[in-house]
Amino acid sequence: MTELVNREQSSVTVSAGSSRLGRPASVFGVLFLLLPLFIVFAPKGLVVWIGLTILALPRMETWPSLATWRFSPIAGVVLLLFLWALITLYWSPVPGVEKLLWLAVVCFVGGLSLISLGALDWPARDHVRTRLIICLVVITVLLTFETLTGLRFGMWLLGDFDFNARLSHIGRSGAAVAVMAWVPLVLIARRKTWTAGLRGSIIASVVLLFLLVDVVILQAFASALALTLAPLAFLLVYWRRRMGLSILGALIIGYLFLAPTIHIWPLEQQEEGVRTSLPFSWQYRIETWRGTAEKIFENPIFGHGFDSARELGQANVTMAGMVGQEIPLHPHNAFLQVWFELGLIGVLLLAALICLILIGIGSARASPARSGVYAAVLASYLVIALISFSAWQTWWIACAWLAAGILSLLGGRPRVTSSAPAYS
């Protein structure tokens, strides 16, 4: 499905002289104007946001003519992952059919959103791009206001919540921002009306700086790390696309296969000074990864079953005088979670998925700059996925589809032909 995002939009045809935006562009325009409210105040509601994109779906009879509508190898691998996860439910201690069904629905609707965005003609796409820029600016303003007021507006809007709930909420909001911000930042920098892009680049840099400061002050450190490392991925791929993607792929795939071995090293064996200098949350996270890695080797081929981490990680551990579960609901590392629950078979499928995505990013049809943006978004998502959240949280999967849809808006100007519009 990511291959659909990477496909050049130049193959989309536009009716000559057609300037009417139509229903899909209007729907996406409204949805992107509403997106800041979802991201800042209700990030779990991104599932609802993705669901609302169905309203922008073009008529079904036009689908065969759409450049984005084609079953890709990526879609096939995703389907195989779902089938394997379904099979592992046979020995999983958790009845995860309902969760797996919801994940399938989110992925299906997310795929439909890509079809809708891919069908937009040039005027419609430009309309949605403008709304996307407005969306990021509003997100930045809201996050800055929340930072300055100590989340007072959000607490007034949603009701007071305790410290842990506050951290979780901030973490989700920051993660969504870190994943979706790169395309609108590029659109701001490339805005031709702003002195050939110079003023736009300055504005984009200021917006990024505000976002980075906000997530640091709000203690969304995973998001801050993603916002810091993603530009490095962009520069690496932009500088030498093939070599950059090879390095990026080697790092990702290498860590995927070596993760259980790397994290089997107990925290107690590290230097005392290094261990005690870490914040408690990181000590706990490292101990969680170690406990997960140990259990992976109990059934490394087939795994313990889909969503089993929440049931099999109930043993207590003591860290810095505090007692907690060895695996608190999930390992806080997507690669370890796939190893733990789906085993080597699931890991091989995930590796195939990542390789296909990287191949799509390196497509000759995409410019080096666009490939760099794709790499930055992928890096942002993986950085956060490897230190936070469950791999199967529906809002987090919805966030991936949101990012993929936004990436599809990077397409260049389609050629103009006399063909009829793809939708009305």
**β 14-15/416-417 pair status:** parallel
Instruction: Say how many residues make up the chain.
Output: 424
Separation between Cα atoms, residue 218 and residue 391, nearest integer Å: 23
Two structure tokens written together for 152: 């007072």
* Distance in angstroms between the alpha carbons of the first and the last residue of the chain: 25
Two structure tokens written together for 184: 């609108």
At residue 390, what are phi and psi to the nearest 5 degrees?
-85, 145
At residue 15, what are phi and psi to the nearest 5 degrees?
-70, 130
Separation between Cα atoms, residue 50 and residue 405, nearest integer Å: 10
Non-local (6+) Cβ contacts of 237 within 8 A are: 244, 245, 248, 361, 368, 371, 372, 374, 375
Residue extents of the structural domains in the chain = 2-237+391-417
What pLDDT, on a 0 to 100 scale, did the predictor assign at position 165? 66
Separation between Cα atoms, residue 314 and residue 304, nearest integer Å: 14
For residue 42, the number of C-alpha atoms closer than 13 Å in the C-beta half-sphere is 12
**Segments of the chain with pLDDT less than 50:** 1-19, 69, 194-195, 414-424
Q: Which of 1, 40, 79 has the alpha carbon at shortest distance from 400?
A: 1
What pLDDT, on a 0 to 100 scale, did the predictor assign at position 150? 75
Q: Which of 104, 93, 182 has the alpha carbon at shortest distance from 406?
A: 182
State pTM to two decimals. 0.85
Q: Print the SS3 string covering the chain.
A: CHHHHHCCHHHCCEECCCCCCHHHHHHHHHHHHHHHHHHHHCHHHHHHHHHHHHHHCCCHHHHHHCCCCCCCHHHHHHHHHHHHHHHHCCCCCCCCHHHHHHHHHHHHHHHHHHHHHHCCCHHHHHHHHHHHHHHHHHHHHHHHHHHHHCCHHHHHHHCCCCHHHHHHHHHHHHHHHHHHCHHHHHHHHCCCCCHHHHHHHHHHHHHHHHHHHHHHHCCCHHHHHHHHHHHHHHHHHHHCHHHHHHHHHHHHHHHHHHHHHHHCCCHHHCCHHHHHHCCHHHHHHHHHHHHHHHHHCCCCCCCCCCCCHHHHCCCEEEECCEEEECCCCCCCCHHHHHHHHHHHHHHHHHHHHHHHHHHHHCCCCCCHHHHHHHHHHHHHHHHHHCCCCCCCCHHHHHHHHHHHHHHHHHCCCCCEECCCCCCC
pLDDT digits (tens, 9 = 90+) for 117-135: 888 888 888 899 999 999 9
pLDDT digits (tens, 9 = 90+) for 315-327: 555 555 555 555 5
Q: Within 10 Å of residue 236's Cβ, how many Cβ atoms?
A: 19
404 within 8 A of 75, measured Cβ to Cβ: no
What pLDDT, on a 0 to 100 scale, did the predictor assign at position 156? 65
